[in-house]
Structures are given as structure tokens and as C-alpha cells.
């Protein structure tokens, strides 16, 4: 079958498996070219199939020789479609890791589900033993709690006065004027239940109870703060409240780990990047496309893999993490450079539907989104048939 990109707004409805393999290989090649790093050796990653979780997995395995166990929520090929990019990322990651002599296992399922947790714990006991590091990198809109029958949905709204601004529509390649309403207190609670720290805490407590955390085990969760410019949408948005909860959870888990296995927990505040999840945040996209242009111009642009390699190579993650006074590991240092933000704050208000392609790195933004789904990559023959029988035989 010949696979073409299918966009609906900011959602990719198809992916190209060969392109996904190539994009993954590019991350592996990047890490190998940087050189070996010292990392934890047995790592559990929640949200391992794309974005920051996948990049962390690649940096750990191909930079530090780590064995990794990944959990993610993805779709394989079926009569309904080719499946999701993350599915192929899992399959090809495992292949590449095993070819390099590393252990790599995946569970595809809902990380909030107790059944999935039980399965993972049984797998770890059987095949991995104690874990040195747990990475929490879930981005999702929903959390179900089977024991109580509750179901929480996150929303992307503000907690202050309503906000208006432009958002990039990738399908239309145009700006759309968007209004972000003020969230109700129930919506804030729901978003915190989904994207806050509760899920992280449940996993760490379950691993401790199963005696699966090694002495000195570390756990980190990816987070974001961002500049003043995006604060009404992000920091003072529902997602920002959830991240505050995540950071508070880090402090709580840190105490718990210190008392039990002599371990440590901290949030990693990363930079804004194009991922499957981030393109949904209204109004952030114009800031992000402008950020990309400015960071490329001053030579500080990074993608997920550059961020994650730097996390382990120079920020001490997994060894002696370099934390700020609020116990956060900052990977957003280049993004928040005052001179860069001053330039962005000057240009941002002048952006409109006619000039955004020139004033921002819209092309780069679109390319990164397409590449997440295996498209727009040099060296992939998109006119060639993809053998779906072969794809269906791949195992995550
Ligand atoms: P992503 O969409 O690329 O990855 C999300 C991962 O979570 C995927 O592996 C997906 O399969 C998995 N997942 C989603 N729901 C799941 C469920 N119920 N059970 C198991 N796995 C599930 O997103 P991204 O952007 O890498 O986000 C990861 C974390 O990084 C989030 O906490 C996000 O807030 C944070 N972050 C993202 C930034 C960005 O600009 N993209 C910046 C800084 C932090």
C-alpha cells in the first residue's frame, strides 16, 4: 500500500512506518555520534513511544547501554488503518536495541490501569529485576479509575481571564483566531487528575511495594514552565496547575524515596517542542514556531533527542542531577535566555495570518510534525508500496 499523510486539523490520521524507522534511526545516530555517557542501567519509561519519553529511551540505551522497559498507548495496524507512529517507534526501537545487545521490552496499554500495572510489575520481576530509574512522560487527555468508575478528562483552558490569540492549523497551514475560556474548578481538578502527579505517585508506590526499586533509584517527570508570554495559556492554564501538582508530587516522592531506597525524585523542565501532544495546546503554536526561528538563528535550537542527550550528558540526570533552588532540573535554560525572550516578545505581537510564515519557522514546525509521523523525510521513497503484511508481523 502507498501511504500518504492525512491531516485533520492538528491530528495525523496516518503514519509512514518506514519514515518512523528512519526518524528513530536518526535519533540513534545522533546519540552514537555524541559519544558514550554514564546512565542508569535498568530504566522504566512511562510514555516511551514518542516525544520526550522516546528520546530519553534512545539516549539511555544508545548513549549509556541501558536496558529499557517502555509503556505506551498506541495502535498497531488493522483493517482500520496503518496504526500509530508510536507503535512503529516501539517495534523498531526494540529491534535496534536488541541488535545492539540490549534488553528492550514494551507493554502497550493504559498506564493508569491497575491491570497494566500488575502485568508490568510481573514482567519486571521475571525479566528485569530492580529498576535504577523511572521516567514519567505521559501526555494524555483521559484517566479512568476502574475501582471507583470515575473518568477524568483534561482540558486546555486558562484559570485567569479568557485569552484570545492565533493558533496554527496544520491541515489548513493557516492561523486561526482562538478563544481560550476560563476553566471551571471541576475542569481544573480533572486536568490535575490526568496530567498532575497522582499517576506518577501510584507507580512509584507500586514499584516500592514490589521491591522493584534499586538502592539509590531515581525518578524524573517531564514538565514545562515557559516564559511570561505564554503564561496565561500555560503556566496559568489548567495544564500549568497540573504541572504544579506534578512538581509538588516530586517533592513528596523525593522524601519517600530518600527514606526507603536512598533515592531521588525531580521534575525536568524541558523546552517547548513540536510533539503529538503539544500541537493541541491552543495559542502556544505561534510562540513555538517563533521560538524555533529565533533559536535556530542563534544556534541554540534543540529537538527532543538533543534535549534528552544533554539531560544525561551534562545535567547529571541519573547520577548527580543539577537542580535549581526549587529542586527542578532545568533544560529550558536556552529557551528562557533573557535576550532571546526579549526578541520574541518584540516580534510576537506583529504576527498575523499574512506574515506568520515569514516571521516564524512555520516550515520547520510543519516539518517536525510531519516527521513525527514518518513523513517529509529525505531518503524515504514515499511512492514505494509499504508491505502491510510485513508491518503487521512487527512486534513492539
Ligand atoms: P507525546 O505525545 O509525544 O508522548 C506521550 C507519550 O505518552 C506517548 O508515548 C503515549 O503513547 C503515552 N501515553 C499517552 N497516554 C497514555 C496512557 N494512558 N497510558 C500509557 N501511555 C500513554 O508527548 P510529549 O510532548 O513527549 O509529552 C511527554 C511529557 O513531556 C508530558 O508530561 C509533557 O507535558 C512534557 N513536556 C512536553 C513539552 C513539549 O513541548 N512537547 C515541553 C516540556 C514538557
* Ligand 1, atom nearest to 70 Cα: 9
Is residue 49 a known part of a binding site?
yes
Is residue 41 a known part of a binding site?
no
Catalytic residues: 234
Which residues form the domain of 240?
7-392
Residue 2 inside a domain? The answer is no
pTM, rounded to two decimals? 0.98
Is residue 375 a known part of a binding site?
no
Assess whether the C-beta atom of 52 lies below 6 angstroms from ligand 1. Answer: yes
* Cα 297 to averaged position of ligand 1 atoms, centre (Å): 27
Residue 65 inside a domain? The answer is yes
Question: Using CA atoms, how far apart are residues 213 and 67, in angstroms rounded to an integer?
Answer: 15
Assess whether the C-beta atom of 117 lies below 6 angstroms from ligand 1. Answer: no
Burial 172-184 (b: 16+ CB within 10 A, else e): eeebeebebeebe
**Contacting residues for 56 by C-beta, under 8 A, at least 6 apart:** 45, 135, 137, 308, 311
Could you list the mean pLDDT of each consecutive 10-residue stretch along the chain, which spans 396 residues? 94 96 98 97 98 98 98 95 97 98 98 98 98 98 96 97 95 96 98 98 98 98 97 96 98 98 98 93 95 98 98 97 98 98 98 97 97 97 96 97
Assess whether the C-beta atom of 396 lies below 6 angstroms from ligand 1. Answer: no
The pLDDT tens digits of the residues spanning 235-273 come to 999 999 999 999 999 999 999 999 999 999 999 999 999
Looking at residue 109, its pLDDT comes to 98
Looking at residue 106, its pLDDT comes to 98
Residue 373, domain CATH: 3.40.50.720
Looking at residue 280, its pLDDT comes to 87
Residue 1 inside a domain? The answer is no
Nearest Cα to 352, choosing from 126, 120, 177?
Answer: 177
Q: How many domains, in total, are found in the chain?
A: 1
Decide if 129 contacts 43 (C-beta within 8 A): no
If phi over 0 gives left and psi between -120 and 50 gives alpha, with beta otherwise, what is residue 189? alpha
**Nearest-CA residue for atom 5 of ligand 1:** 139
Assess whether the C-beta atom of 278 lies below 6 angstroms from ligand 1. Answer: yes
Amino acid at each position: 500500500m502507498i501511504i500518504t499523510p492525512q491531516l485533520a486539523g492538528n491530528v495525523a490520521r496516518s503514519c509512514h512506518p518506514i519514515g518512523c524507522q528512519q526518524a528513530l534511526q536518526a535519533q540513534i545516530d545522533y546519540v552514537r555520534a555524541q559519544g558514550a555517557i554514564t546512565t542508569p542501567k535498568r530504566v522504566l519509561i512511562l510514555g516511551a513511544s514518542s516525544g520526550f519519553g522516546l528520546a530519553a529511551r534512545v539516549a539511555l540505551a544508545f548513549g549509556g547501554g541501558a536496558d529499557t522497559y517502555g509503556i505506551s498507548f498506541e495502535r498497531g495496524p488493522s483493517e482500520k488503518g496503518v496504526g500509530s507512529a508510536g507503535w512503529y517507534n516501539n517495534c523498531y526501537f526494540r529491534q535496534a536495541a536488541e541488535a545492539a545487545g540490549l534488553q528492550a521490552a514494551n507493554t502497550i496499554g493504559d498506564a493508569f490501569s491497575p491491570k497494566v500495572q500488575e502485568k508490568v510489575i510481573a514482567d519486571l520481576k521475571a525479566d528485569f529485576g530492580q529498576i535504577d530509574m523511572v521516567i514519567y512522560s505521559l501526555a494524555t487527555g483521559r484517566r479512568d479509575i476502574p475501582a471507583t468508575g470515575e473518568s477524568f478528562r483534561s482540558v486546555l483552558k486558562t484559570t485567569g481571564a479568557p485569552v484570545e490569540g492565533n493558533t496554527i492549523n496544520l491541515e489548513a497551514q493557516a492561523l486561526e483566531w482562538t478563544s481560550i475560556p476560563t476553566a471551571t474548578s471541576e475542569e481544573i481538578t480533572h486536568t490535575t487528575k490526568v496530567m498532575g502527579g497522582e499517576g506518577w505517585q501510584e507507580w512509584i508506590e507500586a514499584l516500592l511495594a514490589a521491591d522493584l526499586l534499586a538502592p539509590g533509584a531515581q525518578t524524573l517527570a517531564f514538565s514545562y514552565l515557559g516564559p511570561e508570554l505564554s503564561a496565561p495559556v500555560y503556566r496559568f492554564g489548567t495544564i500549568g496547575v497540573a504541572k504544579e501538582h506534578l512538581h509538588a508530587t516530586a517533592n513528596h516522592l523525593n522524601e519517600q524515596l530518600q527514606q526507603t531506597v536512598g533515592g531521588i525524585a525531580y521534575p525536568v523542565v524541558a523546552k517547548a517542542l513540536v510533539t503529538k501532544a503539544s500541537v493541541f495546546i491552543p495559542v502556544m503554536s505561534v510562540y513555538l514556531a517563533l521560538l524555533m526561528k529565533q533559536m535556530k538563528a542563534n544556534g541554540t535550537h534543540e529537538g527532543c533527542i538533543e534535549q534528552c542527550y544533554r539531560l544525561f550528558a551534562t545535567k547529571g540526570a541519573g547520577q548527580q542531577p543539577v537542580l535549581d533552588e526549587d529542586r527542578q532540573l532545568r533544560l529550558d535554560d536556552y529557551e528562557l535566555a533573557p535576550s532571546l525572550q526579549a526578541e520574541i516578545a518584540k516580534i510576537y505581537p506583529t504576527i498575523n495570518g499574512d506574515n506568520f510564515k515569514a516571521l516564524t519557522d512555520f516550515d520547520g514546525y510543519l516539518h517536525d510534525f510531519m516527521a513525527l509521523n514518518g513523513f517529509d523525510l529525505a531518503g524515504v521513497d514515499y511512492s514505494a508500496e509499504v508491505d502491510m503484511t510485513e508491518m503487521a508481523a512487527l512486534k513492539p
